[in-house]
Amino acid sequence: MACLQPVRGTHDILPKEFRLHRFIGDLAASIAERFGFEEIETPIFEFSEVFERTLGDTSDIVTKEMYTFQDKSGESLTLRPEGTAGVSRMIISNGLTQKLPLKYFYRGPMFRYERPQKGRYRQFHQIGVELLGISQPQADVEVIALANMLLKALEVSGNITLEINTLGNLVSRNHYRKVLVDYFNDHREDLSEDSILRLDKNPLRILDSKDPGDRKLIERAPIFNKYLDSESEIFFASVCRKLDALSISYHVNERLVRGLDYYGHTAFEFKTDALGAQGTVLAGGRYDGLIAQMGGHDTPGVGWAAGLERLSLLIKKEPTRKRPIAIIPVATEQHDLAISIANRMREEGYNIELAYQGNLSKRLKRANRLSCRAAVILGGDELERGKVGIRDFDSGEQMEAELGALSSSLLKFNSDC
């Protein structure tokens, strides 16, 4: 029986949910297009090195969180855990750094070997954008504005707030890290077990700790802003000023950090309180060091990604779709006619449900259940006079129409649901 279950953390996407995914994805693609971002797709697996190289050997991520396996030739492959590394590899492989700046939108499944939680799965789906080749704050603001516009268009429920922070440039960040490590070392005995480990592996992440004891220490911890050099300061101020100019509201969260070394300057997250512990709906930042770290020419980049599963949980209104019209033969004698009328109407752009089987009552019942707007009823008596019945499911009225002028008679039944 175990084999008939989906693998832990994966799930089937049935039509209702799929419509929602497509709605979000299509809307995102179209808004991205307004900003000049073109949609691309990279493979859903890469040589493991693509991801390992970007992550370094530091964290749990490589050992614990990736879907890594060997293929038949012995190559180590990894199902992509996120989009940026693949896009970066694509840019290097195709020599696209000749044509900077590059603006890409992508969507598709991602894989992480994690324990499932609310809005968090082993196979999940993301949309994302990357803007490469621009080291000025305009790029950061462009991608944030795009994200903001998308969330607004989606009319997502829950209080979504934009939190933003700067991680500074490399010099500032190293300086701050040193100060932070010193501070926490002085209070080592008060740190949680997890955070003592983080002190060595990833000290900035302590600022994100949920442990109440840690949080007290964090409140009094040195703040990043004070250790920014002037370049970092000017950069962040410029991002904020431009957001103000666009009337995009944000909250500066000095504790907002990123785990990996290639991140710098802007980091941002759109968060909601409606999803428990998994409150980040859309997150991104500047990753100027990434492409160089992967072995390409030093190329700045900034982008974000958002999970469709989480976004879906926040969508209030169902996406609409065109209601179909049913073509219903009364008896088997009309089946051939029905299928040819159905196809003709489809060629003219109508959504047509052909009633395949059952008596008239059942066919109508089924058409009704499929939320058809109307039914074209093909009965022997009417057809002899060159007519068909048209039943309006909303009003309950039924009228006759010329078979030859069917298409125009159906025009008024174009509606969404």
Partner RNA sequence: GCGAGCGUAGCUCAGUUGGUUAGAGCACCGGAUUGUGAUUCCGGGGGUCGUGGGUUCAAGUCCCAUCGCUCGCCCCA
Interface ranges with RNA (CB under 7 A) = 1-2, 5-6, 8-9, 51, 55, 59-61, 64-66, 81-82, 84-85, 112, 114-119, 194, 197-198, 202, 205, 208-211, 258-260, 276-278, 283, 330-331, 358-362, 364-365, 368-369, 377, 379-382, 389, 391, 393-396, 398
Q: Which is nearer to RNA, 114 or 233 (CB)?
A: 114
Angle at which helices 15-34 and 137-154 cross, to 10°: 140
Report, in Å, the least distance between residue 197 CB and RNA: 7
Q: Which is nearer to RNA, 5 or 230 (CB)?
A: 5
Report, in Å, the least distance between residue 265 CB and RNA: 14
Q: Which is nearer to RNA, 75 or 333 (CB)?
A: 333
CA pair distance 319, 284, nearest whole angstrom? 27
Report, in Å, the least distance between residue 355 CB and RNA: 11
Q: Which is nearer to RNA, 327 or 364 (CB)?
A: 364
Report, in Å, the least distance between residue 256 CB and RNA: 10
Report, in Å, the least distance between residue 284 CB and RNA: 8
Q: Which is nearer to RNA, 33 or 402 (CB)?
A: 402
Report, in Å, the least distance between residue 231 CB and RNA: 23
Report, in Å, the least distance between residue 34 CB and RNA: 25
The set of residues, in sequence order, having a beta carbon less than 8 Å from that of 386 and lying 6+ positions away, is 402, 403, 404
Contact (CB, 8 A) for 127 and 28: yes
Report, in Å, the least distance between residue 338 CB and RNA: 13
Report, in Å, the least distance between residue 260 CB and RNA: 5
**Residue closest to 338 by CA, chosen among 393, 383, 378:** 378
Q: Which is nearer to RNA, 234 or 399 (CB)?
A: 399
Q: Which is nearer to RNA, 101 or 379 (CB)?
A: 379
Q: Which is nearer to RNA, 328 or 342 (CB)?
A: 328
CA pair distance 404, 388, nearest whole angstrom? 10
Q: Which is nearer to RNA, 39 or 400 (CB)?
A: 400
- Alpha-carbon Rg for the chain in angstroms: 28
